[in-house]
Amino acid sequence: MENHNIDPKMLEMLVCPFTKTRLELSANGKELVSHAARLAFPIEEGVPLLVLDSARHLQEEELR
């Protein structure tokens, strides 16, 4: 799975900037998902953009 070169150790340390809960890598490896905040943060060139302006709101079916 393509994960845009995000370091696995960094992924273990990252939390949602709003809820402080764990982030999960999306199925396509292009976003970090916060189920608690219902947000998906993009990963660009291996760098997660953990700001609200970059996030997209998750649809109900994406939360299952």
pTM of the model: 0.87
Rg (CA), the chain: 11
Number of domains composing the chain: 1
**Tally of CB atoms within 10 A around 18:** 14
The reported pLDDT for the residue numbered 1 is 44
Q: What is the pLDDT along the chain (64 residues), one digit of tens a residue?
A: 454 678 889 899 999 999 999 999 999 999 999 999 999 999 998 899 999 999 999 999 988 7
Is 1 a member of any domain?
no
* Domain assignment present for 21: yes
- Structural domain including 54 reads 8-59
CATH number for 37: 2.20.25.10
